[in-house]
A = this chain, B = another copy of it.
Amino acid sequence: MIGMRLVEWDDIERAAGHLKDVALCTPLLAAPWAGPDLWLKPENLQPIGAFKIRGAYNAMACMSAEARARGVVTHSSGNHGRALAYAARLFGVPATIVMPVGSPRIKIDAVRALGAEVVMVPPAERLPSMLAIVEERGMSPVPPFDHLDVIAGQGTIAAEILSQMPDVEVILVPVGGGGLASGVSAGIKSRRPEIRVIGVEPEFAAETQAGLRGGELRHWSTADTYRTMADGVRTAPSPLTFAHLQAYLDDIVTVTEEQIGSAVGYLGRDGHLVVEPSGALGVAAYRYRRDALPAGRTVAVLTGGNLDPERFAELIVAPPLP
């Protein structure tokens, strides 16, 4: 899309100002159990248990007061919906969250607990359902990733990493809709283009890897992508996020379901963190796909921690992959 505006450093700095008292500046944690040069950025410790608070709140902060007052609506497999419900409550306005059937119960319950309305639909109807609500009720849409203010909010993670570890060499980010990977890679490349930003996808939902290699956006069927346990990254980028990833992301590596599950177990046993499968993609890549990654001081962004406790209990006791 020629002429499409991409996120710039100024957008990220403005977002950081909005988020100052809302999002936690998550620490970088050494992870000697995974390797000598890996640090974790535990976004699962954000108030809603995921980085999504950054983009959702920033988008609401950037709206006109009038648009905000009409309430907000989104579609989300869970974490963005929860983030928007949380942000709407902070602003004191209503929120409606369209969620796909198959979302983890813990994510659905959490959205309801924040006082938002939940509308359940089949996965393929997420976007049209949201647009219908915008039309019928006049609510302001805050899409999970297809929005510059959302991308800029996620990009504040890049600003934090640069100030916490100026000599970082590699950053690993999960890729689903691509909001996080867009914001982080745009931020990093605008300041420090020599730092490598690598996306990580499950093999079952590697449409972005395929798209970047083929030079155009791909959409895999939900029958395919819903085979991965990493429910946060089953979606494909939009033209806007795809343009960011084409411009700024260095590469994408993929991991298997076994590697993802094993990484969740390691993070629980040795990292003392409850991380959802999508959030463990970077650690899975570092642990099992080291050959495919650049060497050097590496930060893996742990995107969230919202998974059903029964699933986590299975993964923390399962024997790890060697």
| CB-CB under 8 A for A275 and B272, given A27-B24, A313-B316 | yes
- CB neighbours of A131 from chain B (8 A): none
Interface residues of A in 36-75 (CB under 8 A from B): 42, 44-45, 47, 49
Nearest B residue to A50 via CB reads: B272
Whether the Cβ atoms of A30 and B44 lie closer than 8 Å is no
The copy count of this chain in the complex is: 2
Contacting A44 at CB < 8 Å: which of B49, B272, B310? B272
| CB-CB under 8 A for A316 and B309, given A274-B268, A274-B272 | yes
Whether the Cβ atoms of B316 and A312 lie closer than 8 Å is yes
Number of interface residues of A (CB under 8 A): 31
Q: Distance in Å from the Cβ of A198 to the closest Cβ of chain B?
A: 24
Is A29 part of the binding interface, using a Cβ–Cβ cutoff of 8 Å? yes
- CB neighbours of A128 from chain B (8 A): none
Interface residues of A in 253-304 (CB under 8 A from B): 265, 268-275
Is A237 part of the binding interface, using a Cβ–Cβ cutoff of 8 Å? no
A1-34 Cβ-contact flags toward B at 8 Å (1 or 0): 0000000000000000000000011110110100
A-B contacts besides A27-B45, A32-B47, A313-B313, 5 pairs, CB < 8 Å: A26-B27, A45-B272, A49-B270, A273-B274, A312-B313
